[in-house]
Structure 1
Amino acid sequence: MIGKTREYPKEIMILETIVRRFPPDDFRKAEFEKKLYRKRAGYKGEKTLDYFLAQIDHSEMLILHDLRIPINSTHFQIDTLLITINFLLIIDSKNYTGTLIFLPEFNQLIRILNDIEEVFPDPILQTKIQASQLKTFLEKHHLTPSPIEYLVAISNTQALIKNPTNDKEVSYRVFRSSNVAFKLPPFYQKHTQPRLSKNDMKKIARHLVKAHEPFVPDPKSMNLPFDNMVQGVQCPACEAFGMDYHQGKWTCISCGHKSADAHIQALRDYFLIYGPSITSKQFREFMNVGSPSTAKRLLSSMDLTFDGTTKGRTYFPEKNFFD
């Protein structure tokens, strides 16, 4: 069963908003576009692994997706954790393109793409470290010890995987996501003795889910041109900014498309960039709405909580506002 689902990362939501509203003539926009591309690719690779995991029988295991666990003064992350009665299995997903050359002697992964060589950290070593950190976490919380295994899943079907030294560890630990069902039996053959009861499995899952701290970057630390970010409501049809609100509808000044709720995405953008609250005045300025009564009506119609009197009211998003 699934003990923790994979949610769309808040970090990607924030980067999407930044790219969408970054001043188009500012050269720094390209940096955020590149970072967003990498994060989206990583998430796509994780979802690819999830797809193939969903096809196997996991009635006798617990699957936790996307964990970020505090340890000392930092955190360690696990893309996917399988908890069985015999062992725990960490699977780290990589969505690299190009030719991937594993060089474990130097703990390196060489990626060749468009005749350009890049050096990446060894993902096998990364998952090995994650296994060690997970072991430390479990011991600290006096949880039943169990063997911890680890694998590296290559999700991009176009990647060419090479193991030039025929290293056994690379062959054993690295696989294509589509092959996940066939990577599990060897671990059951290796670890034949049950170590955990069903209650132990659930207890480990509860502790990890409770400890999970999702990464949410602070836009204020990104040196953004806040005063020059694009404001207004974006047209869901042509993606132009500057929709006008009249008689209960937003109308795009570029293509004429009409929408009743285009302001909801604009408000999500505001919360993601500028912070967790908004006043009626800030709403009017950001949405280019002139009427205070219209702003109040729109704010009251959404899934928001508020604090303060009617005149000085501040609005906050509910937890599911970004779903």
Structure 2
Amino acid sequence: MEIKPLNLPIELRLFRLLHSRMSFSNEVMKHYQNLEKGFTGEKLMSDYLKLLTSEMHILHNLEFEINNTKFQIDHLLISKHSIIFIEVKYYGGDYEVKGHDWICRWNGEKITNPLRQVERTEILLGKLLQSIGFKLNIEPYLVFNHPEFWLYNAPQDPSIIYPTQMKRFIGNLDRKNGSLNQSHLALAKKLMEVAKDESPYKNLPAYSFIELQKGVQCPKCRSFMSFKNRITLGCTKQEDTCDYTETVESGTLRCVEEVRLLFPEMKITVKDIYEWCGREISDRTIERILTKHYKVVFHGPYSYYIVD
């Protein structure tokens, strides 16, 4: 049973919004692409875990801190006799192990040894469990689930799972049968309680409301949209035509949520949403939609809207 489902990380959502409205430096683009690849791998792993039929509590994407040291767990499973954590690496292409180094063969770039990362997480998770008063065996796994991944000189480590082993891996997890009790649920709840919420804004590039490109964006392909008729917006993408359409109300509300996410301190006004929508939607229409879905706070010409 999923106790904590896998959701799109807010940081990745913010980067997606910004990527389509501003230019990224090479460094920022690399971080954004790593976030996209990481989430693709986690989503693929999450879909595999949905195939489990044995009784387990499943928690995704957890951030912890113990003794002023932070660590992150992609997927955590609580079974009757053990706590299983899975570190996912969505690496595509050929890699090689040389001594303690892991090297990408197509560009020679060294990557952090993922086995050391797993070992570190296992140690810190053990300390965390001890600090909250629980004791279970810990089973670590390092999963490579990109279909085109290959590792030369691979270490003979049973905790490493390769793309061709995924179905067998899930089958082996399913054999960890055993009924869970209230202590297992208490552990799951305690882990969620002590998990940290990292700020999703700390790694974002500098941006401002004025500088970002304006317009209603298609949620499917991130191209900009325009009116198809009086009440409908349609995607304007030319290549590989995107056929997404939606009501003006739906597009306006999505724009409001984008502004609230990107600028959490900003008051929501008709003027600002009119600008954010690229002046495509009339201020009168925007006022009607905001009044319908939000609570208006009157301060003369400086009225703004809040979630009721």
Q: Using structure 2 for the length normalisation, give the TM-score.
A: 0.80
Cα offset, 1:163, TM superposition: 2.8
Instruction: Give the share of equivalent positions with the same residue, in percent.
Output: 21
Equivalent in 93, 115, 136 of residue 146 of structure 1: 136
Pick the structure with more helix per residue: 1
Structure 1's 85 and 109: CA in aligned 2 closer, same or farther, altered over 3 A?
Answer: same
CA distance in 2, matches of 1:237, 1:153: 29
Deviations 1:292-311 (A, max 9, x none): 54332121344x4x473374
Residues 1:63 and 2:65 are matched in the alignment: no
Unaligned residue ranges in structure 1 (runs of 5+): 319-323
**C-alpha distance in 2 between matches for 1:254 and 1:159:** 33
Structure 1 counterpart SS, 2:275: helix
Task: Give the CA deviation at 1:227.
Answer: 2.6
Q: CA deviation at 1:244?
A: 6.2
Which of the residues 260, 266, 269 maps onto 1:279?
A: 269
- Give the letter for the 2:91 counterpart: Y
- Which has the larger displacement, 266-275 or 288-297? 288-297
1:316 and 1:73 mapped to 2: Cα distance? 37
Q: Which residue of 2 aligns with 1:268?
A: 257
Quote the residue 2:125 is aligned against: 134
SS in 2 for 1:227: coil
Is the alpha carbon distance of 1:240 and 1:124 closer, same or farther for their aligned partners in structure 2, counting shifts above 3 Å?
closer
Cα 1:181/1:254, change in 2 over 3 Å: closer
Alignment of 1:21-32 (within 5 A): 21-22=21-22, 26=23, 28=24, 30-32=26-28
Cα offsets for 1:174-200 (capped at 9, x unmatched): 1125534544788999x99x9x96222
| Equivalent position to 1:51, from 47, 66, 83 | 47
Give the Cα separation in 1 of the matches to 2:102 and 2:202: 31
| Residue identity in the other structure for 1:86 | H
- Contact conserved, 1:10 with 1:216, CA < 8 A, in 2? no
CA 1:80–1:177 in structure 2 vs 1: closer, same or farther (change >3 Å)?
farther
1:95 equivalent to 2:90? Answer yes
3-state DSSP of counterpart to 1:55: coil
SS at match of 2:158: helix
User: After superposition, where does 1:243-254 map in structure 2 within 5 Å?
Assistant: 243=226, 247-250=230-233
* Amino acid in structure 2 at the alignment position of 1:281: K
Q: CA RMSD in A?
A: 3.7
The residue matched to 1:234 in structure 2 has which SS? coil
1:77 is aligned, of 57, 72, 93, to 72
Where does residue 321 of structure 1 map in the other structure?
A: none
Paired with 2:140 and 2:220, the residues of 1 have a C-alpha distance of 45
Corresponding pairs, count:
299
The match for 1:109 is: 102
From 169, 173, 177, the counterpart of 2:159: 173
Aligned to 1:234: 217
Q: Residues 184, 254 of structure 1: CA spacing in aligned structure 2 closer, same or farther, 3 A cutoff?
A: closer
Q: What's the CA shift string for 1:238-267, capped at 9, x where partnerless?
A: 865474698545578999x77423223322
